[in-house]
Structure 1
Amino acid sequence: MTSISGRLIKGSMWLSLSRAIVNGLATLSTIVLAWYLAPADFGVVALGTTMLLIVSTVTELSLTQALIRHEAPKESHLSAAWTLNATRGLLLCLLFAACAYPASGLFEEPRLAGVMIALGFSMLLSGLTNPRLIMLQRELIFWQEFVLSVSQKLTGFVAAVAIAIIYQSYWALVVGTLVTQATNVIISYLVLPFRPRITFQHIREFFSFSAWLTAGQIVNTLNWRFDYLLVGKMLGGTALGYYSVGSNLAMMPTREATAPLVQTIYPGFSSIRDDPARLAAAYQRVQALVAAIALPAGIGVAVVADPLVRLALGEKWAPIIFIIQSLASVFALQTLGSLVQPLGMAKGETRLLFIRDTQMLCVRVPIMIVGLMLAGLQGVIIGRVFTGLFSALVNMILVRRFIGVTVLKQLSANMRALTSIAVMAAGVTLASGYLPHTTEKIMLAEQLAMLVALGAGLYCGSTLLLWMLMGRPAGPETEVQKILGKILSKVRPA
């Protein structure tokens, strides 16, 4: 496969396989940990993780994106990237250790200090990862990514589950993170050997690209993570545990369904950034395919959230049903404009991405605070629904500015998927109303299986019918045909 689309599809196939395994392990891990740990355990780790994400993003150097976009990176560029990342990781580790006890006192959570010290060490490990792996992404080669993703998730899963079963402690979440990060570092050098040397060359070259991108990431992280700190401080650890687990489960179907394609998009867009017509066509094709996958995954989980949560996690987690129903739908709908980030990066429009993130922060913060004050956790969720839909519209407007594709044309490219998902949601919701309420696991499993089968049938049937009625136009359906054709062409000789 020499074409960009061909390599994107091949890379997506490797990543799809890895994400299927990783997604399965992540889901199983969440279920097991939820049975053995309390919501407050998830809350204290969510506090530490949120602070770590904010601090790490504030100091993010965006070296990966800079190396991908560089025309011809040399060994000295890779060594400089490793040096900068390792230095940053060491400084963050020391900073987090120094702030651990003051933060523990601020949030009135004694366990937070140990969690922060351990998570700070994970940043040190993260800074040692092999930067040469980025060369594989530049060439759209992803089988090594499969090895890396599966191995680190598997070791982290085994460690977390073992600690949870034996000790039933929140340390299961922390140890799982540390083991995952350590495996990532070790495997990164095994799949692509590299001996870095300490050098601070090319710093100005790196920063000239990443300055606006880093600023945007700082604002974006504050935008999407400050609510965790707000909930943890105002509503306590148990409410934060519900909020954290519910948000993660709501995000998982959309993220895991689209990650294989999204991960290959930025290097693909970068390679054709100087061809406007080709870039616009590639964006529309990929975005329509991403939405066609994300919409049934996200909204499908939303409409079966009740039996799913009661079956997988138990009655003690029933408060997160509303969170999953609300946020899973929004995350799915946001994919209508979510590819604006790799598109803007490929075109070098990082300043506009920063302005977008800043504007969203100014809109989101007061809405979250007002929602919390008026309706508690439920008000925060409603605020996230509103701002999520508004964010999708802003992203689609930016796409129009970058490549000239109007918002109406973007929506029309996804009309079959949107119509089919409406049919699916209506049918499954109607069927759910006729099912008796139960807490028995066997009946819950039967209900869930029936609703999933009904939803899949309605979505696929509606999509196929609309596609045929419209004369089989080019779109996600033809992309799926091509992917299946390539798979079958490899299978038939065997």
Structure 2
Amino acid sequence: MSSVTDRLIQGSMWLSLSRAIVNGLSALSTFVLAWYLVPADFGLVAIATTIQVILSSVTELSLNQALIRHESPSETHFSAVWTLSVTRSAILALLFAAASYPIAEFYDEPRLTSVMLALSFSLLLSGLANPRRVMLQRDLIFWQEFVLNVSQKLVGFVVTVGIAAIYHSYWALVIGTLAYQVTNIIVSYTVLPFWPRITFRHARELFSFSVWLTAGQIVNTLNWRIEYLLIGKLLGATQLGHYTVGNTLSTLPTREATAPLNQTIYPGFSKVRNDPIRLIAAYQRAQALLAAVALPAGIGMAVVAEPMMRLALGEKWIPAIFIVQALASVFALQTLGSLVQPLGMAKGYTKMLFIRDTQMLVVRIPIIIAGLMMAGLPGVVYARVLTGLISTVVNMLLVKRLINLPFFQQLAANFRALASVALMAAGVWGLSHILSMPTDKPHLALHLAVLVIAGGVIYVGSSFVLWVAMKKPDGPETEVHRIIVKFLSKAKRIAVPKSA
């Protein structure tokens, strides 16, 4: 277990560096685009990309997950995955292009036609990516993943921001997406050479594992994207733009802070799936570490949302502040049960995950529609908070079913993170009310910096005090302490020559 854990930690460190760069570029891109574009531009492209994502997810084959779980995938398996992916993406591109004019008429937005025609090319490109890339994740090799992630994000960032700065047009969002896809294809074959050939061998074998994941992906996409279409139709592109940017910023800290662990944990769980004791231990350690990172990231974003958005985006984005405050908090709390997905996949319970997703769809959509009809955009946000909390409880109950880990024992493992983040939120909230909100940019930046530093000190300090008070039990603090000791030991050996 220690060797797997060490490789997971090393992988997480590579991916942490990758995500730190990608996260910084994503945040900077969002802020820059928000200055150059208007909310209606984001809303326009959000309609097209939402339809694109739904169409992609409805036909998603989930073949990469099947390759990760396969005992010994061959070159023929990779070629079969490539052939199926290219066939699917070509069909989707044609369907998406054909639907562009009718959808533009439905939304009474003529610009949608050209946007969807351009994005149909993006659909075609998505099927050409190198299928061998997934083996880096399967074998817990992550430095090449670092190169892939950073290069494609950097190219997409430069293209998107450059076009937005020069033309102030929503086409920056569209062309940036195409640049991202092209870079992904070029770099994936450069880093990991592969010459695919057309074959449909092993297709049935691959589908036997992925069929329920595909069905779950369909339901999940409808779950998390349907409100975009409803808001765009009933409330208009401007309010959809506020929702899109607010939702993007609210997910950013939690997603980016936890992405390194999420990418390594499925192959890690897969390696110990037949050993119940090691699997439970791996789950508890991973979940505690995830919560220790996600909770301060998400809740921290929520409590500093107002000064951050006033400083970074300006007055035209004030309606999105409430969206960030509400959704960033619930996204952070949802991580308490989010590892049920890789856990269920590792144990082969993909049908159970599909049933969960379907149940949440049946619960979530009526609540979202009711919120939209009764209170407009704020109603959608309140509905998202409620359904997010329900989803967290459902996921934790499924964890109990999968590995027999009681619900309250799962909560207890995250007690220090929950208590520390509560103290952090209370402290930052109190400090923000003691300090008056400045209006000029330099003082607003200083105000934000004070709140962020205060929150970090409170969280880290209270976590350490609770850990010591509880007699230093195993947990995220132990992992951090072990990594620091190992790093200092290596640094000391490098600094002091052997001859000394």
Amino acid at match of 1:9: I
Which residue does the alignment assign to 2:229?
Answer: 229
Is the counterpart of residue 108 in structure 1 residue 101 in structure 2?
A: no
For residues 423 and 41 of structure 1, the distance between their equivalents in structure 2, rounded to whole angstroms, comes to 39
Which residue does the alignment assign to 1:420?
Answer: 420
Which residue does the alignment assign to 2:459?
Answer: 459
Which residue does the alignment assign to 1:381?
Answer: 381
Alignment of 1:346-357 (within 5 A): 346-357=346-357
For residues 355 and 141 of structure 1, the distance between their equivalents in structure 2, rounded to whole angstroms, comes to 32
Alignment of 1:329-348 (within 5 A): 329-348=329-348
Which residue does the alignment assign to 1:493?
Answer: 493
Amino acid at match of 1:288: A
- Does the Cα contact within 8 Å between 2:253 and 2:297 map onto a contact in 1? yes
Which residue does the alignment assign to 1:177?
Answer: 177
Deviations 1:177-230 (A, max 9, x none): 110110000000000100000001111101110111110110011011101111
Count of aligned residue pairs for this structure pair: 494
For residues 242 and 491 of structure 2, the distance between their equivalents in structure 1, rounded to whole angstroms, comes to 45
Deviations 1:335-364 (A, max 9, x none): 000000000000010111011001100111
Query: What RMSD in Å do the two structures reach over aligned CA positions?
Result: 1.0
- Does the Cα contact within 8 Å between 2:437 and 2:447 map onto a contact in 1? no
Q: TM-score, normalised by structure 1?
A: 0.99
For residues 261 and 142 of structure 1, the distance between their equivalents in structure 2, rounded to whole angstroms, comes to 12
Which residue does the alignment assign to 1:281?
Answer: 281
Amino acid at match of 1:459: Y
Deviations 1:43-81 (A, max 9, x none): 011111111110000100001000000001000000000
For residues 334 and 447 of structure 2, the distance between their equivalents in structure 1, rounded to whole angstroms, comes to 29
Is the counterpart of residue 118 in structure 1 residue 118 in structure 2?
A: yes
- Cα drift, residue 137 of structure 1: 1.3
Which residue does the alignment assign to 2:498?
Answer: none
Amino acid at match of 2:67: L
Q: TM-score, normalised by structure 2?
A: 0.98
Which residue does the alignment assign to 1:267?
Answer: 267
- Does the Cα contact within 8 Å between 2:438 and 2:447 map onto a contact in 1? no
Amino acid at match of 1:429: W
- Cα drift, residue 437 of structure 1: 3.0
- Cα drift, residue 115 of structure 1: 1.4
Is the counterpart of residue 481 in structure 1 residue 481 in structure 2?
A: yes
Is the counterpart of residue 6 in structure 1 residue 6 in structure 2?
A: yes
Deviations 1:229-287 (A, max 9, x none): 11111100000000000000000000000000110011111111111111111000001
Alignment of 1:39-438 (within 5 A): 39-438=39-438
Instruction: Give secondary structure in 2 for the equivalent of 1:109.
Output: coil
- Cα drift, residue 486 of structure 1: 3.3
Alignment of 1:27-42 (within 5 A): 27-42=27-42
- Cα drift, residue 123 of structure 1: 1.5
Alignment of 1:19-30 (within 5 A): 19-30=19-30
Q: How much identity, in percent, do the aligned residues show? A: 67
For residues 219 and 135 of structure 1, the distance between their equivalents in structure 2, rounded to whole angstroms, comes to 27
- Cα drift, residue 489 of structure 1: 3.6
Amino acid at match of 1:94: L
Instruction: Give secondary structure in 2 for the equivalent of 1:493.
Output: helix
Cα separation, partners in 2 of 1:90 and 1:486, compared to 1, 3 Å: farther
For residues 351 and 211 of structure 2, the distance between their equivalents in structure 1, rounded to whole angstroms, comes to 9
Uncovered stretches (5+) of structure 1, i.e. residues with no partner:
none
- Cα drift, residue 491 of structure 1: 3.1
- Cα drift, residue 2 of structure 1: 7.5
- Does the Cα contact within 8 Å between 2:334 and 2:389 map onto a contact in 1? yes
For residues 371 and 135 of structure 2, the distance between their equivalents in structure 1, rounded to whole angstroms, comes to 45
Comparing 384-393 and 102-111, the one that deviates more: 102-111
Deviations 1:72-99 (A, max 9, x none): 1000000000000111111111111000
- Does the Cα contact within 8 Å between 2:82 and 2:196 map onto a contact in 1? yes
For residues 74 and 490 of structure 2, the distance between their equivalents in structure 1, rounded to whole angstroms, comes to 36
- Does the Cα contact within 8 Å between 2:130 and 2:194 map onto a contact in 1? yes
Amino acid at match of 1:172: A
Amino acid at match of 2:161: V
